[in-house]
Homo-oligomer: A and B are copies of this chain.
Amino acid sequence: GYSQLPRHVHGLAGAPEWPAIKAMLPDLAGRRVVDLGCGFGWASRWMRENGAASVLGLDLSRNMIDRAIADTHDEAISYRIADLETLELPPAAFDLVYSALTFHYVQDFARLARMIGDALVPGGELVFTIEHPIFMAAARPGWMQDHDGRKTWPVNGYSVEGERRTDWFASGVLKYHRTIATTVNTLIEAGFRLRRIGEFAPTQEQIFQNGGLAEELERPMMLLVAAVKD
C-alpha cells in the first residue's frame, strides 16, 4: 500500500525530486518552519538536522502523525493533525512554509495561499511541490503511444479546473486540478513574489541508477515552486 512507496520507506532518499527541492530551499539556519502534509515527518526532521530552529508538522492523517511522533526525538519538532481546508496559523509566526505533494488535495487554494502569506513574516518563503497540472489534467491519466510508438502522456480537459478522481492505492482519491496560471496567479494575488519554479526531470545520473525514471523526461510530473512573501 501507500506506506510502502519508496518515499515512505526510504524517506527523502526515495523521492527523486528531493535534490531539486533541496536546491530551491532557502538557508534553514534559525528558521521557524511549518511542514504542511508532513506525512511520516521525514522532511520535518531533515529541516531540523539542517539548522531550522523549530518545525511544526501538520497532516490530515492520524496514522501518519502517530508514526511521525513515534519516529521523532526532538523537542523542537511538534506534530498536529490538521485539515488544510480550514487550518489557521498565527500571523507572522514563521519563516518558511514547506509542503510536498499535498496542495493538489486542497480545494480552496486561494484561502490556503492567503493564510500562508499571513503566517509568514515579510521575506518569509513558501516552497512547495504539487503534482504537475499536466500530469493531473486528463480524464484517463496513463501512458499512451503516439503514431511512432513513442511513450506519450495524454492531456485533455486542461482548462477545466476542479475535481479529478484516480484510483491510487485507494479508489476514488480526490484531487483538484488547477492550471499553472491559476496556481501562479493565486500566489501573486496572495502577496507572493515568485522566486523560482521547477518541473522535476531526472538527471542522467538518476536515470543510470534507476532506468524507470527515464520516462519522466517525457512529461512534467511535478511542479516545484519557491515564492517569497513581500
Contacts and interface: CB of A to CB of B under 8 A. Distances in A.
Interface of A: 134, 138-140, 144, 146-148, 150-160, 179-181, 184-185, 188, 193-199, 201, 216-220, 224
Given A139-B148, A146-B144, A147-B140, A158 B188 contact: no
B138 A179 contact: no
B216 A159 contact: yes
A220 B179 contact: yes
A43 to B, nearest CB: 21
A157 B199 contact: no
B160 A156 contact: no
Contacts of A198: 181
Contacts of A138: 146, 152
Copies assembled: 2
A184 to B, nearest CB: 5
B184 A188 contact: no
10 contacts: A134-B155, A138-B152, A140-B147, A152-B156, A156-B218, A159-B216, A159-B218, A180-B199, A181-B224, A193-B194
Nearest to A139: B150
Contacts of A157: 217-218
Nearest to A216: B159
Nearest to A157: B218
Nearest to A142: B147
A181 B159 CA distance: 19
B153 A154 contact: yes
Contacts of A194: 184, 188, 193-194
A184 B197 contact: yes
